[in-house]
């Protein structure tokens, strides 16, 4: 444990020890010491634990951009996907269209 400045606290656990405790590492006596330290109300260690438990959240703008990036990727994948060529029937599609000046053979 490292030295601390708070009244009544002689040493603080390192961030590595706190993370190990939160991950279930270490023995019972180490865990007991860490819990006792946290229960004494150490704000410095509580802040460290909070940072470990709740990683830094992305900004709203990052989340917004990520959503648009995903949508764009889906649209692009759809547009680039191979498609079968349409089957053309010359008589049906061109010769019998309204306004066509080409006469169909009778």
0.85 surpassed by pTM: no
> Does position 3 have pLDDT exceeding 50, yes or no?
no
Interval 79-89: pLDDT, tens: 888 888 777 77
Q: At what angle do helices 43-53 and 28-39 cross, to 10 degrees?
A: 120
Domain locations in the chain as residue ranges: 1-81
Give 16's pLDDT tier (boundaries 50, 70, 90).
very high
Q: Considering only CA atoms, which of 49, 62, 54 is closest in space to residue 14? A: 49
């Amino acid at each position: 444990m490292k030295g601390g400045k708070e009244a009544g606290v002689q040493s603080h656990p390192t961030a590595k020890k706190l993370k190990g405790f939160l991950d279930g590492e270490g023995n019972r006596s180490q865990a007991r010491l860490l819990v006792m330290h946290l229960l004494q109300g150490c704000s410095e260690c509580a802040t460290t634990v909070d940072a470990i438990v709740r990683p830094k959240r992305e900004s709203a703008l990052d989340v917004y951009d990520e959503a648009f990036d995903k949508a764009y990727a889906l649209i692009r994948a759809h547009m680039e996907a191979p498609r079968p060529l349409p089957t053309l029937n010359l008589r049906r599609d061109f010769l019998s269209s309204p306004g066509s000046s080409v006469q169909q053979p009778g």
